[in-house]
Amino acid sequence: MSDPKRLPVIDALKVVAAQAIVLHHFALYGPMSTYARPLAPHLIDALAEHGRWAVQIFLVIGGFLAARTLAPDGKPADIRVMQSLGKRWLRLGIPYWVALLLALLAGAIARHWVSLPHTPAAPSLGQVLANALMLQDIVGVPALSAGLWYVAIDLQLFALMLLLMWGLRQMALEAYATLAVTLGTAVSLLLFNIDPTWDAWGLYFFGAYGLGTLAWWSAASQGPSARRWVLVTLIAGLTTLSLIAMWRSRIALAGLTACILALCSGPASAQYARQVPRALAWLSDRSYALFLVHYPVCLVFNAAAQRWLPHTPGTQALALFAAWAVSMWASHVLYTRVERPAGARPNRNR
């Protein structure tokens, strides 16, 4: 797989994080995992309890890639705010809306077949609209699919970073971009992220996003420059300080991910872009689609397994594997038929 813009470490992290989230939800939402648990109780319990931490990897990668677009050399680029935000909204939103429709259909099928604790109730029009506008958590409306909250947060974080870079450029303060992101990251890690009442807002997650931004600026530094190592030290220092204030395993993972990106994504790694295994690139490209579409598949398979399959560990474990395989197939369809065409449309228009 040859693409000078590909970074092997990004592909690897996206694949690991996406698979961890899928397995987390499959372990968390029964009854397939409940019946299959005797075969691997510790693994299923660990996935159900800790698998959600993988979201931190996506948050850090999001900040890393946002910096590559908005401030590739550490200074804000010439940004058209509404155009950039609209492009991001459509790139996230078009596959999101398709996945939302699939979740509505899957929920209706699951409710028709059997009553399960994790099956969502029939939604109201207001709930559907709130989810479609990515406002469900802000207005206190239940989400219609697992993982939709992350897409809403990703859009908020991109908007925050976009406005921050645009504002610095408008005030001729481009040289202070690193300082501004560092301060924003510190405030998020030491204030907002400690208070769970903020978890519907991007400020709660900006710490991980900011660490990813600093990681890009470190990786983009040419050669063994002092700036590169100052930024790596800054990432490690911010992470350590936030963990001293309150230990959060998710923040430890975010800091570790940012350090990996900073150290493994520099100019010297560009030569390895041509060596990305085809299978890794294939899985990486479909990671967002998999993130969106696996929950509707999980709903339908859980309902079917509860109603028609024997409630034995082996049979239910096979059903879990089948649900994973169908999720992978569905992610391929969503990526090739929806996400990739949606991502190409702005380029054609421009």
Q: Is the pLDDT of residue 272 over 60?
A: no
User: Considering the chain, what percentage of its residues have pLDDT values greater than 70?
Assistant: 93
Task: Give one DSSP letter per residue of 272-339, joined into a string.
Answer: GGGG--HHHHHHHHTHHHHHHHHHHHHHHHHHHHHHHS---HHHHHHHHHHHHHHHHHHHHHHIIIII
Choose among 315, 270, 291: nearest CA to 38.
315
Q: Is the pLDDT of residue 93 over 80?
A: yes
Q: CA-CA-CA-CA torsion for 284, 290, 292, 296, nearest 10 degrees?
A: 180
Predicted local distance difference test score (pLDDT) of residue 1: 40
- How many angstroms separate the CA atoms of 202 and 204, rounded? 5
Write out pLDDT tens, residues 214-235: 999 998 876 557 888 899 999 9
Interval 203-211 mean pLDDT: 97
Write out pLDDT tens, residues 315-346: 999 999 999 999 999 999 999 999 999 876 54
Q: Is the pLDDT of residue 348 over 70?
A: no
Phi-psi region of 172 (alpha: psi -120 to 50; beta: other; left: phi over 0): left
- How many angstroms separate the CA atoms of 133 and 83, rounded? 18
Predicted local distance difference test score (pLDDT) of residue 284: 94
Q: Is the pLDDT of residue 85 over 80?
A: yes
Q: Is the pLDDT of residue 262 over 50?
A: yes
Give every CB contact of residue 191 below 8 A, 6+ residues apart in sequence. Answer: none
Does the pTM of the predicted model rise above 0.75? yes
Predicted local distance difference test score (pLDDT) of residue 30: 87
